[in-house]
Amino acid sequence: MRTVFWENDSLHLIDQRRLPGSLEIVVCRTHAEVAEAIRTMTVRGAPAIGAAAAFGLALAALESRARDAAGLRADLEAAARLLKETRPTAVNLAWAVDRVLESVFVRLSVSKSVDDLRLSVLAEAQRIADEDVETNRRMAGHGAALLEDGDTVIHHCNTGALATVDWGTALGVIRMAHEQGKRIHVLVDETRPRLQGARLTAWELEQYGIPYEIITDNMAGHFLRTGQAQKVLFGADRIAANGDVANKIGTYMLALAAHDNGAPVYSVAPTSTIDFSLAHGGLIPIEERAQDEVLAIQFGGERVAPAGARARNPAFDVTPARLITAIVTEHGIVRPPFDVSLIKVAGKVNR
Ligand code: MRU
């Protein structure tokens, strides 16, 4: 089953708030419901929210009562604004929304009836979803070459099938290496505060039969320093033109610890995650989420923080390019200097 799929004129999502306790499907019938599902992290992970938002536009097209292309375009642009506002850091979301609008209104609108345009919105959303699966498999094929039989790797957040339409980014690389017969052991960062590692990555690794142990985020440095982990893998929510990587909060500290111990650091992401409009990671907008995600934690059945405690909750941080050994894309493995190699891999200049 895909994480994000279209059936009976509605968008179906695996409810990631319920896992690993139960596998439930949420059905969205309006674009506003899709926006809410993204905001509440019912669906999460950069490529997954991109595909979900694209299908959100398909729902907006069905909802629209417009009788001409201009009216449909105005309705879809309003829906696009709502969808894009939900989560600001992962560029895949804006990328997918813009791609749908461009494909329908810039390349098609002259020749098509308004009903055909509605269908074109859905067709483009479906293409984005299908391509994501293919892209992830290609990345996995490239990235698996970086893993050796017997490696123990530290993995941050959830980058698996659940974070994408299917297969995953960094976890897809681990899965491919495992399927190739390499013995890979995964130390799963639990990933405070939403615990995507302990809940979702561990659940996926159980399905794939890949050996793993959960560690708290603050244990990673110890395992790297003592040589019990040799490599670090994570995804990306946005990569600036110079190779700075925005990813789940905690990635920066993990990369620092790896760098200090000479362990390679690999970010695995499709080229749709690269934002060439931003020169460096300091320009990437960082989502701040509700304090309660940090304060809700319990110990011995009691809330840990005293009444009245306040918290900070940036959902992402930026790892400078100098700490990244390589970025794995669907077109191959990219190494420093990233300001040159990323442009080449995205096909922006002739080789
Ligand atoms: O807040 P989330 O759970 O959406 O954050 C997800 C991540 O940070 C992933 O590592 C990232 O999207 C890349 S993996 C597909």
Residue 350: predicted pLDDT: 43
In this structure, how many other beta carbons lie within 10 angstroms of the beta carbon of residue 326? Answer: 21
59 versus 107: the higher-pLDDT residue is 59
> How far apart are alpha carbons 195 and 189 in whole angstroms?
8
Residue 266 and residue 143 in contact, taking contact as beta carbons nearer than 8 Å:
yes
Enter the DSSP assignment of 321.
Answer: G
Quote the Cα angle for 333-226-248, to 5°: 50
Residue 349: predicted pLDDT: 54
The structure tokens 């600001």 sit at 88
Does 164 contact ligand 1 (Cβ within 6 A)?
A: yes
pTM of the model: 0.96
State the distance from the centre of ligand 1 to the C-alpha of 246, rounded, in angstroms: 10
Give the whole-number percent of the chain exceeding pLDDT 70: 97
- State mean pLDDT over 333-338: 98
Does 341 contact ligand 1 (Cβ within 6 A)?
A: no
Average of per-residue pLDDT values in the chain: 96
Q: Domains in the chain, ordered, with CATH?
A: 4-137 (1.20.120.420), 140-346 (3.40.50.10470)
Residue 157 and residue 201 in contact, taking contact as beta carbons nearer than 8 Å:
yes
Band (110; pLDDT cuts 50, 70, 90): low
Residue 105: predicted pLDDT: 87
Rounded to 10 degrees, what is the CA torsion of 50, 146, 240, 31?
0
Residue 108: predicted pLDDT: 67
109 versus 177: the higher-pLDDT residue is 177
- State mean pLDDT over 69-87: 96
Does 46 contact ligand 1 (Cβ within 6 A)?
A: yes
Which atom of ligand 1 lies nearest, measured to the CA of 159?
A: 14
- DSSP per residue, 67-121: SSHHHHHHHHHHHHHHHHHS-SS-HHHHHHHHHHHIIIIITTTTT--HHHHHHHH
pLDDT at residue 10 is higher than 70: yes
Residue 351: predicted pLDDT: 39
- State mean pLDDT over 120-133: 98
In the three-class reduction of DSSP (H, G, I as helix; E, B as strand; rest coil), residue 42 is classed as coil
- State mean pLDDT over 47-70: 97
pLDDT at residue 315 is higher than 70: yes
- State mean pLDDT over 196-216: 98
Known catalytic residue: 237?
Answer: yes
Distance of CA 8 to the CA centre of its chain: 26
In the three-class reduction of DSSP (H, G, I as helix; E, B as strand; rest coil), residue 268 is classed as strand
Sign of CA dihedral 84, 90, 95, 96: negative
Catalytic residue of the set 151, 189, 237, 317:
237
Which atom of ligand 1 lies nearest, measured to the CA of 273?
A: 13
β-strand partners of 87? none
Band (112; pLDDT cuts 50, 70, 90): confident
In the three-class reduction of DSSP (H, G, I as helix; E, B as strand; rest coil), residue 220 is classed as helix
Does 45 contact ligand 1 (Cβ within 6 A)?
A: yes
Enter the DSSP assignment of 219.
Answer: G
